[in-house]
Every structure is written in structure tokens, then in C-alpha cells.
């Protein structure tokens, strides 16, 4: 019962306004079931096909979040059930999500990913780009998506000062985007993972994505 214990430990120390996404990528359905039986209903995956397979096997009251980088041609596979897409980083991708959501008669909630890390490999928009996207005429006509916040990934480092700086930057961008449109209203700030979520919460995170601290280490690198 270590998964249940880990979940309980993390949840009992979270402020009320912070939502925990249990990141189950690469982990078997038996692990997700243990978390489910411990009462958890919100899981994050970073590969669409893997999430689809798990969605089919697991009870239908689970909320599935797509937290990984997305290929546009795969959006259709998750459009009928995904409850939040975290890493939207272009108008073209939003357009595809809008199209697939419309086909399924849904409005899909999305977060825009902001690049805060110093590493070249991390995806995301700059503050200038996100501001322009939200103000664009092309964006405003999308009726089947809703932007409910921002997401970011800090640099993979143990340097607390750098983490503080990067999460602080994301919080500032979040606070500066006060504009609301019919299809956007920014309330959710998704930042913080197993190793850095306490510092993310100190900087205003409202949603943390935690994998290895719940399910144990994954076989490969952090992006697997």
C-alpha cells in the first residue's frame, strides 16, 4: 500500500486551493487502481495513446489530464474524454483541439504552456507570444475550447534560487494576464513536480503534477 500512503502524505500537506494531478505515465493500471482505491480520481499522462488505453480500462469517473507535448494528428483520440490539456503552445494546436472538441460536442479546457526553463528542450510560449495569442481575432472565434490557465516546467536543477526565479516569473506572467474573453478566464496555474512542488506552491501554484513521489521512480529519464 505504498502508493496510497504516498498519496495521503502529499495530500495531507497541501494547501486547500492546490489540486494534485497524480502523474501515472509509464505505470501499470494496477498502480493507478491502487491510487483509485485510495480515493484519488485525477491522473496525468504524457502520451495520448497510453492515456487512451488506460481510460478504456479504468472506471469512468476518473479525470484524465494530458500533461505532455502534443502532436496535432493525435488530438482526435482523446477529444471525447480528456478533461484538461496542460501543454498547449500554439494557435495551430488550439485550432485542432477546437475542431475535435466540436466533433464531440464538447468544450475542452486547456492551459497554455509558458517557457520558463533555461534548457533548450522545454517547450512553451513567451509572455509576448501568449499575450498576442489571447488577443488575436483568430483565437477569439474558437467556441469549443476554454483557456483556464497557464502551465510551466522549471529547469531540472536543485538550485532553489533558480527554481524560485522561474516559478516567480510564471506567476508574474499569470498575474499580468488579466484579460478575459468568452473562451478564456485564467484561474489555474499548473506548476511543480515531485522535486520542486513545495517551492512552486510558495510561488502561487494551484495545480501540481506529481509522479515519482507517488508511484516511485520510473524506468528512464524524467520526460519518459
Cβ–Cβ under 8 Å, residues 191 and 170:
yes
Q: How far is the CB of 47 from ligand PLP (least distance, A)?
A: 10
- Interactions with ligand PLP, residue window 54-73 (CB under 6 A): 67-68
The 8-class DSSP code of residue 73 comes to: G
Handedness of CA 159, 112, 147, 50 (dihedral sign): negative
First to last CA, the chain: 24
The correct pick among 22, 163, 173, 210 for binding ligand PLP (CB under 6 A) is 210
Asked if 33 is part of the footprint of ligand PLP (rule: CB under 6 A), the reply reads no
CA 18 from centroid of its chain's CA atoms? 13
CB under 8 Å to 67, separation ≥6 — which residues?
21, 23, 25, 44, 45, 46, 86, 87, 151, 209
- Interface characters, 129-168, with ligand PLP (x: CB under 6 A): ------------------------x---------------
Asked if 75 is part of the footprint of ligand PLP (rule: CB under 6 A), the reply reads no
The correct pick among 22, 23, 48, 201 for binding ligand PLP (CB under 6 A) is 23
Asked if 116 is part of the footprint of ligand PLP (rule: CB under 6 A), the reply reads no
Please give the size of the binding site for ligand PLP, defined by CB under 6 A. 16
Task: Considering the complex, state which of residue 142 and residue 192 has its C-beta at the smaller distance from ligand PLP.
Answer: 192
Q: How far is the CB of 210 from ligand PLP (least distance, A)?
A: 5
Q: How far is the CB of 180 from ligand PLP (least distance, A)?
A: 26
Backbone angles phi, psi at 188, to 5 degrees: -105, 135
Q: Shortest CA distance to 150 belongs to which of 85, 82, 74, 56?
A: 85
* Residues contributing to the site for ligand PLP (CB under 6 A): 23, 25, 46, 67-68, 153, 193-195, 209-213, 222-223
Amino acid at each position: 500500500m505504498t502508493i496510497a500512503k504516498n498519496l495521503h502524505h502529499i495530500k495531507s500537506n497541501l494547501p486547500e486551493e492546490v489540486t494534485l494531478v497524480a502523474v501515472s505515465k509509464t505505470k501499470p493500471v494496477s498502480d493507478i487502481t491502487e491510487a483509485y482505491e485510495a480515493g484519488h480520481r485525477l491522473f496525468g499522462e504524457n502520451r495520448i495513446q497510453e492515456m487512451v488505453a488506460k481510460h478504456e480500462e479504468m472506471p469512468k469517473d476518473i479525470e484524465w489530464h494530458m500533461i505532455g507535448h502534443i502532436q496535432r494528428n493525435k488530438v482526435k483520440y482523446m477529444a471525447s474524454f480528456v478533461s484538461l490539456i496542460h501543454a498547449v503552445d500554439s494557435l495551430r494546436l488550439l485550432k485542432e483541439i477546437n475542431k475535435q472538441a466540436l466533433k464531440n460536442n464538447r468544450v475542452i479546457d486547456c492551459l497554455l504552456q509558458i517557457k520558463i526553463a533555461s534548457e533548450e528542450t522545454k517547450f512553451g510560449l513567451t509572455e509576448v507570444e501568449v499575450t498576442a495569442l489571447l488577443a488575436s481575432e483568430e483565437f477569439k472565434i474558437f467556441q469549443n475550447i476554454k483557456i483556464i490557465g497557464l502551465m510551466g516546467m522549471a529547469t531540472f536543477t536543485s538550485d532553489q534560487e533558480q527554481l524560485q526565479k522561474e516559478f516567480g516569473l510564471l506567476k508574474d506572467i499569470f498575474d499580468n494576464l488579466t484579460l478575459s474573453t468568452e473562451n478564456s478566464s485564467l484561474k489555474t496555474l499548473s506548476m511543480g513536480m515531485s522535486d520542486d512542488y513545495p517551492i512552486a506552491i510558495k510561488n502561487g501554484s494551484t495545480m501540481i503534477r506529481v509522479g515519482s513521489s507517488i508511484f516511485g521512480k520510473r524506468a528512464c529519464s524524467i520526460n519518459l
